[in-house]
Every structure is written in C-alpha cells, then in structure tokens.
Amino acid sequence: MIIQSEITPKHSLSNFFEPGRIGVIGLLREGFFGGLVVIKTLLRNGFSGEIYPVNPSYKEILGLKVYPSIKDVPAPVDLVLIITGNRAVPHILRECGEKGVRAAIVVSDGFAERDEEGAKLQKEIVEIGRQWGIRILGPNTAGIANPSKGVLPNPYELGYERLKPGGVALCGQTGMINPQAFPYGDLGYGVSKICDFGNKCDVDECDLMEYLEEDSDTKVIALYLEGIRDGRRFMEVGRRVQKKKPILILKSGRTEEGAKATSSHTGALAVKDQIFDGVCKQAGLLRLDSFGELFELPKIFSHQPLPKGNRLGIVTFTGGVGVLAVDEATRYGLRPTILTRRTIRELSSIYPNLGKPIIDLGPPMAALRDYISIYPKILRAVLKDENVDCLFNVIWTGPTQTFLEEYLRIYRQLKEINQKTVATWVYGPKVSLIQELTFGLEELGFPVFKDLEKAIKALGLASHYSVLKRREER
C-alpha cells in the first residue's frame, strides 16, 4: 500500500478545500446529480474563484465556456471533480497530471466497491496519482465542502440554498455526511469542512486530521470510518491532533457480519473492533455508538466551553426525565451534583421543595400561573453553584409561541453570564415549536439535542475530553 501523504508536504489538502480554480469534468446534463449541479451550487454559495466545465459535447453552460479537455483550460487549475464513467477516469487523470493539477475528487463509482475489475482500475488511478503528484479523494465520493469559502462542489442537488459556516468538521467514508443527505440548512447546523473519503484510495482520515489540526474554522472533528489503512500513523496523528481539538469517531464493522459488509462497500480492510477500541483509548479519541451521534454530539464542542469537572446539574419539567438522565449520566462518567446548601436554600425560597438534586419545575409549573417568571432565577442559581460543572436543561415548549419567546429571552440573558457547559433537550406537543426553539437556542450558541440520552452523552464526552486535556497540560 502506498502511503502517499508521507512524501507530500503538509497541507497538500488545501487544494481541495481552498481552491482558486476548479475544473468540473464530465456529466453536464440537467438532473439532480452531476457537474451542472456542482457548478450551480458553487455559484449559489458565492464561490469567488474560477469554474471551468470540461466536456467535449458542450460549448457553453450557464454562461461559462466549456472546454473539450482539461488541457484546454487557459489557466492553472487547483482542483478537479471527475464525474464520468469509471473507465474514462485513468485517461482524464493523466491529462490532469499533464496540466499540473494537484488535487482530484473522483466522484465516479465502479471501483474497488464494485468488483475485481473495479479494484484494478482503482489501483491504476492510485498509480497515476503517485506518478503525477495528484492527491485523489475517492473514488466513489460525494466530495467536500468548505462553506466559509463558498467551496461547495456537491454533485447532488441540495434542496436548500446555503450551508452555514460553523465549527464542526464532518468526515467519513460515506456520502451520508454531505449536504444532500442531511438538513444542515433547515437546522442551521454550521460546519467548517465536510469530506467524504469514498473508497479512500489516497486521501484518508490521517491526511484530513493533519489538515484540520491547523484549520482555524474547525473546533471539533467528527469521523465516520469503515476501516483504517495505517494503524500506527492513525494513532500518532490522532493522538497529536486531539490535543488541539476533540476527535469523535463512529466506526462500522464492529461485528463480524458488519466487517464483511464493509469490505464490499468501500473495499476497506476491516480492523478487529477490540483493537480499534484500544487504539482510540490510547490516542484519546472519543468513540460514538450511533449514526445520529455523529451529527449531534460534536455540537457540545463547537458551541460550549469545556466543563471543569464531571458534576452535573439537572433542571427538568418532569421527574421521570430527571431519573433517566441520572442513569445515563452515570453511564458516561458524570456525577449528579450535590448542590451547595446556599443554592438549596435559594431554590427553596423561590419555590417550596425545589432545592433537590433533580430540580423539577413540574410542580411550580402546574401551580403558578406565571411560572416562567421564576425560571431565570432557578437557572442562575444552579449555574453559579460552585458544585456544578455542567447543566442538563430540559425545556417543555408549552402549547404556544408565547413560551418560546420567554425561553429565548432567558437564554439570551444566560449567554451573558454563563461559563458552564449547558446541554438542552426540548420537548413538547408541536413539532414546529420544538424546531423553532431548537433553532433559536442554537443560534444563541446553546446546543439542543434530539434525545435526552444524546444530551447527557455529549456532556459526558465533553467532561471526559476535558480530563484528557488537563492531563496533557500537566
């Protein structure tokens, strides 16, 4: 196996994420997939560089001149996307090499994931890449995104206008992280970079972690892996990068059956799960358990400060959720806090019996007409308690808009004073109210989680990472 990146200088990936000139080679017909979509999406997202469509059957498209070959483009090209039949790829890559292109995203499928013949073809393009010094992402990839630079060469139509820049880098061997597969737009979910490795014939998670290590947009790295190519390098790079930013990993092929399925998906070699687990522990990488977690859990790192300890405050509208939260907290190394006597007194002066380990707003909510007026006092009392490192806050939306505005107002005030890690879970009788409050709170920098379990796990991971970091610093 050729470890290309060992002979390539650092940041060889900047051609992918910060290209000035992009060539789009291949399929240009109308539809929800292809080069035409790439070009439209780049333009819509304010890509300020040059775009060169390449296809011998066209003369002009969207007002852009179309070139018969990449070699005809009258300027240097930083990045190409190749969206053609698999057999055309080697020839096109060679032309790119002659042209001096140093980065290629091979969207085309039909390589190692398909059959023997495809595997051979994949080997061939790896050779060509090495020969010409072209870094290759893919094949069989939906590509990358760098919204802060308007670089969104997505081959599938998005269904929404823009991708919001943010702190989470999402990377993996799947197009499921790309913007056509997840409602980033509707959720106001901000990403720093997206990178689908596809079959991972060249650019891999280690290259990417190294690139992201220095990327100032990225606050947290979330990785989906099916296998790793070079265990030692993975451990070295992972260990180094996680000192700067947390790395969260979901790995498939945990079971024997899953490992078998892996090899037919991206042709990845499976790693025994126990070994991989050991590697992650040693390198300080945080493992995830479900696909949803890949999107949800990074939010705690991109939005909130790290907790200084593992003592968890719980404010809820219902005792049952509090109990479930305690169970989960224990699972993830958090400790339900023992509030100081002062806080207990303060809470109980706000409403009788409120000063308990689980602060349950259910009773005052049912009893007081204007319960929401005591809510900010309660949150403030808990957050300023020296025994509280992080807070799980459960909000019932209520049946109408009125409540939402109050909650947003309260969180806006909270933002001014709060230094602790807050994870929120929102529930209620209307989907639209849940969505609206979620969106609003996240705009304020307070992540809202889809399940109570994910909220608690996010706090648990943040607390765990915080311990690792402090240990490093000593």
Q: Which of residues 314-373 bind a copy of itself (CB under 8 A)?
A: 318-324, 326-327, 329-331, 335-336, 353, 356-358, 360, 362-363, 365-366, 369
Shortest gap between Cβ of 252 and a copy of itself (angstroms)?
4
Q: Token match 């109210």: residue?
A: 433
Q: Which is nearer to a copy of itself, 120 or 160 (CB)?
A: 160
Q: Which is nearer to a copy of itself, 262 or 304 (CB)?
A: 262
**Mutual orientation of helices 231-241 and 273-283 as an angle, nearest 10°?**
30
Q: Which of residues 189-218 bind a copy of itself (CB under 8 A)?
A: none
Q: Which of residues 269-298 bind a copy of itself (CB under 8 A)?
A: 290-292
Do 245 and 218 form a contact (C-beta atoms < 8 A)?
A: yes
Question: Which of 98, 228, 254, 213 has its CA nearest to residue 172?
Answer: 228
109 interacts with a copy of itself by CB under 8 A: yes
386 interacts with a copy of itself by CB under 8 A: no
CA 33 from centroid of its chain's CA atoms: 23
Q: Which is nearer to a copy of itself, 369 or 474 (CB)?
A: 369
Shortest gap between Cβ of 369 and a copy of itself (angstroms)?
6
- The two tokens of residue 131 are 């020969």
Shortest gap between Cβ of 33 and a copy of itself (angstroms)?
5
Q: Which is nearer to a copy of itself, 73 or 437 (CB)?
A: 437
Q: Which is nearer to a copy of itself, 8 or 318 (CB)?
A: 318
Shortest gap between Cβ of 10 and a copy of itself (angstroms)?
29
Q: Which is nearer to a copy of itself, 210 or 453 (CB)?
A: 453
Q: Which of residues 8-37 bind a copy of itself (CB under 8 A)?
A: 29, 31-33
462 interacts with a copy of itself by CB under 8 A: no
Which of 417, 430, 443, 445 lies at the binding interface for a copy of itself (CB under 8 A)? Answer: 430
68 interacts with a copy of itself by CB under 8 A: no
3-state SS, one letter per residue, for the chain: CCCHHHHCCCCCCHHHHCCCEEEEEECCCCCCECHHHHHHHHHHCCCCCEEEEECCCCCEECCEECECCHHHCCCCCCEEEEECCHHHHHHHHHHHHHHCCCEEEECCCCCCCCCHHHHHHHHHHHHHHHHHCCEEECCCCCCEEEHHHCECCCCECCCCCCCCEEEEEEEECCHHHCCCCCCHHHHCCCEEEEEECCCCCCCCHHHHHHHHHCCCCCCEEEEEECCCCCHHHHHHHHHHHCCCCCEEEEECCCCHHHHHHHHHHHCCCCCCHHHHHHHHHHHCCEECCCHHHHHHCHHHHHHCCCCCCCEEEEEECCHHHHHHHHHHHHHCCCEECCCCHHHHHHHHHHCCCCCCCEEECHHHHHHCCCHHHCHHHHHHHHHHCCCCCEEEEEEECCCCHHHHHHHHHHHHHHHHHCCCEEEEEEECCCHHHHHHHHHHHHHCCCCEECCHHHHHHHHHHHHHHHHHHHHHHC
Shortest gap between Cβ of 114 and a copy of itself (angstroms)?
6
Shortest gap between Cβ of 368 and a copy of itself (angstroms)?
10
Q: Which of residues 78-107 bind a copy of itself (CB under 8 A)?
A: 107
Q: Which is nearer to a copy of itself, 434 or 462 (CB)?
A: 434
Q: Given the rule CB under 8 A, which of 6-14, 110-118, 373-381, 414-422 is the region that contacts a copy of itself? A: 110-118
> CB atoms < 10 A from the CB of 116, how many?
8
Shortest gap between Cβ of 178 and a copy of itself (angstroms)?
9
Q: Which of residues 222-261 bind a copy of itself (CB under 8 A)?
A: 224, 226, 252-258, 260-261
Q: Given the rule CB under 8 A, which of 12-20, 92-100, 339-347, 393-401 is the region that contacts a copy of itself? A: 393-401
Shortest gap between Cβ of 355 and a copy of itself (angstroms)?
12
Q: Which is nearer to a copy of itself, 50 or 109 (CB)?
A: 109
Q: How far apart are CA 471 and CA 239, in angstroms?
A: 13
The site string for a copy of itself over 141-180 (x = CB under 8 A, - otherwise) reads --------------xxxxxx-----------xxxxx--xx
Do 139 and 111 form a contact (C-beta atoms < 8 A)?
A: yes
Q: Which is nearer to a copy of itself, 204 or 215 (CB)?
A: 204
Total residues interacting with a copy of itself, rule: CB under 8 A: 89
Q: Which is nearer to a copy of itself, 11 or 182 (CB)?
A: 182
188 interacts with a copy of itself by CB under 8 A: no
Which of 12, 242, 262, 466 lies at the binding interface for a copy of itself (CB under 8 A)? Answer: 262
